[in-house]
Amino acid sequence: MLGKTALITGSAKGLGRRTALELAAAGCDVAINYVSSREEAERLVADIEALGRRACAVQADVAKEEDAERLVSATESLLGGVDILVNNAGPFIRERRLFADYRTEEIHYLMNGNLVGTMLMDHRVLPGMRSRQWGRIIHFGFGHASEARSWPHRAVYAAAKVGLVSFTKTLAVEEAANGITVNMICPGDIRGGNKEKSIADVAGVLDDESPRGRPGTGEDVARMIAFLCLSESDFITGNTIDVSGGLDPIRTHLKK
C-alpha cells in the first residue's frame, strides 16, 4: 500500500482513528475527516506525519451532499486521488426506541448518515479509481447484517445498514473489472476506549458477553481493513465480514 491515498470518514476518534494509524503504518497517506472533533483530528495528523506519511484533516458531514463533494475534492487537492475509501462514519442512537417513537428528522439523519452519505462518497471517488484501475472501498455494518433479520428498537439504523449490504454486493460486481473491490466490515460490540486499543492492550481481560472471552478492539477491525486493502486482496470483494469474536448482538439482546 506504499504511496496509496486513503480517506477515512469519521476518523478523528474510535475505530476510524485506529484504522488511520494502521493504514499509515502500511505506507498510506491519510485524509482524516471529522465533524466537530477538530483537536483530535489535528493530533492524529501529527501522529501520522510522525510515521513518515502525509496527512490532512478535513471538516465535513458526509450526510450532506455538498460536504461529501468538498471532502473528496480537498483530499485530492492535498494528497492526490483517493485510492482507498473507508466509510467509517455513521450515526447511531444508543437509546433503544420503537420506530413509532422516532422523530421524522431522526429518521432522515440516520438514513442519510448510514446509507445515502456512503453512496454519495462512493459515487464521488469512483471516477478516479476507474481511471487508475485500482480501488478499495470499505463499508461498515453490524454483526449478521447480511441476514437482514429484524432488530427491534434499532429499526432505522438496521434498515440503512441492511440496504448498504445490498449496495455493497451490487457495487462490487459492477466495479470488479475496474480493479475496485467493495467489502463490508461488521464490528462486534466494541465500546469506548477499546475502539482505539490494540489486541495486546486487552490481553487477559475477560468479557463474559463475548464467545471469544475477551473484548474486541480497534486493532481487530483495523487489521482486517488493512488486509482487504492490499493489492493481493483483489479477489476478495462483495463480502460482509463479521469481526465480532462470535457475538450476535441481536440475539444476545433478545434473550435478555
Mean pLDDT (whole number) for 51-73: 95
Grid cell of 29 as nine digits: 497517506
**Domain layout of the chain by residue ranges:** 5-254
Cα angle 83, 223, 57 (rounded to 5 degrees) comes to 50
Report which of 140, 182, 144 is spatially closest to residue 8, judged by C-alpha positions: 140
Encode pLDDT of 193-247 as tens digits.
Answer: 999 999 999 988 888 788 787 888 999 999 999 999 999 999 999 999 999 888 8
What CATH code would you report for 5-254?
3.40.50.720
Query: Would the pLDDT of 180 be above 60?
Result: yes
253 pLDDT above the threshold of 60 = no
Mean pLDDT of 14-38: 97
Neighbours of 256 (CB within 10 A): 4
Note the pLDDT of residue 256: 47
Q: What is the DSSP letter of 113?
A: I
How far lies 84's CA from each of 24, 106, 110, 125, 154, in Å?
A: 12, 30, 24, 9, 30
